[in-house]
Amino acid sequence: MLGRRGGTGVADAYYAKAPFRNGLLARGFHVVSRLRKHAVGWDAPAPPPPGTRGRKPRYGRTWTLASLLTAETPRRARLTRYGQLTAVVFVVRDVWRRDVTQTGRVVVLAGATEPRRLVSTDLVLSALQIHESSGARCALALTLRDLTHHVGLGDSQGTTTLAILRFVPLAWLALCLWRLTLLEHLGAGWRHVTSSRVSLPEAPLSFQRVRRALRAWATRQIILANATPGADVEKIARDHEPLLQMLV
């Protein structure tokens, strides 16, 4: 990917450091990421009064970025998150960050327990576009975690280029093979299992959905294997439905 120029990457707070950002900016890339809890930023310095001698200040006012939510008048907007229209409260400000070669657009959003802090090196993006880009990263991260957990390819937290180049193709190859196998069973009765704990819609080939269906099927086989000959199988299944709901 780095052989081409242009594009925007989305990362977590670990990659908000200056060396990573400056390296991508030098290659024509932009970055959207979260910021750490105590991240700070600086306004551009005010022009010195005429006739003032000495070195021009590098930075202006210092901000603890989380405090922007109370220091400024927040804006309100609505956007789609996880398929639902959600109201968000936020402030946006372009600031300098230590050792980064250009200003970044910081978006601070009100959260349930503490503000969420996002930053983009692309000043063309609006605050809502930055928020939506960060949300897309979360969805991809959850998908990859789900994939590694159920396919069994180990830890996804690779820190070397070789580990990442090996892990990602293996993970997606396993995903494709698994889904090709599953296509034959789309209409099978054992796959149609509902759970009261699942609020979001699921894809037909979701790993979570298949895992619950297989767990419910295996539990039914264990329960019915101990039934006496001639027993009312349907009544036994109904009586154990609360147990199945707990398992799925």
Listing DSSP states for 31-60 in one string gives EEEE--TT-EEEPPPPPPPTT--SPPPS--
- The pLDDT value given to residue 3: 45
Predicted confidence (pLDDT) at residue 183 exceeds the cutoff of 90:
no
Same domain, 12 and 133: yes
Is 53 domain-assigned?
no
pTM for this predicted structure? 0.57
Looking at the structure, tell me whether residues 176 and 71 fall in a common domain.
no
pLDDT recorded at residue 148: 58
Give the pLDDT confidence score for residue 11 in this predicted structure: 82
90 and 211 share one domain: no
Out of 147, 173, 207, a domain closes at 147
Which residue in the block uniquely carries the two structure tokens 């090196």?
121
pLDDT tier, 201 (very low <50, low <70, confident <90, very high otherwise): low
**Which of 7-11, 64-68, 147-151, 212-216 tops mean pLDDT?**
64-68
Task: Look up residue 23 and give its two tokens.
Answer: 């390296």
In a domain, 14, yes or no: yes
Q: Alpha-carbon Rg of the chain, whole angstroms?
A: 26
DSSP per-residue codes, 146-176: HHHHHHT-------SHHHHHHHHHHHHHHHH
Q: What is the mean pLDDT of residues 181-206?
A: 66
pLDDT category of residue 95 using cuts at 50, 70 and 90: very high
Return the H-helix or E-strand segment holding 236.
helix 233-239
Average pLDDT value for residue range 64-68: 90
117 compared with 178, residue with greater pLDDT: 117
Distance CA 225, CA 188 (A): 21
Alpha carbon separation from 217 to 78, 191, 213, 230, 239 (Å, rounded)? 42, 9, 6, 21, 15
Residue 93's pLDDT is what? 93
Which band of pLDDT confidence, cut at 50, 70 and 90, is reported for residue 204? low
Alpha-carbon gap, residue 90 to 68, rounded angstroms = 9
Does one domain contain both 103 and 215?
no
Question: Is 51 domain-assigned?
Answer: no
Higher pLDDT, 245 or 109: 109
Q: What is d(CA 207, CA 176) in angstroms, rounded to the nearest whole number?
A: 12
In 3-state terms, the chain is what percent helix, strand and coil (to 5)? 40, 20, 40
Q: What is the pLDDT of residue 163?
A: 61
- Lowest-pLDDT choice from 31-40, 168-177, 185-194: 185-194
If asked whether residues 161 and 142 sit together in one domain, one would say: no
14 and 126 share a domain?
Answer: yes
User: CB of 21 within 8 A of CB of 38?
Assistant: no
Q: Clarify whether residues 129 and 62 are in a common domain.
A: yes
Decide which of 211 and 158 is more confident: 211
Q: In DSSP terms, which residues pair with 77 in a beta bridge?
A: 88
Q: How far apart are the C-alpha atoms of 110 and 16, rounded to whole Å?
A: 20
Same domain, 128 and 62: yes
Which domain does 21 fall in, by range? 8-44+58-147
Q: How far apart are CA 56 and CA 160, in angstroms?
A: 41
Tens digits of per-residue pLDDT, 99-149? Answer: 888 899 999 998 888 898 999 999 999 988 888 888 777 666 666 666 655
Average pLDDT over residues 9-33: 85
The verdict on residue 164 lying in a domain is yes
Which is higher by pLDDT, 83 or 2? Answer: 83
CA distance 114 to 65: 12
User: How confident is the model at residue 191, as a pLDDT?
Assistant: 62
pLDDT for position 105:
93
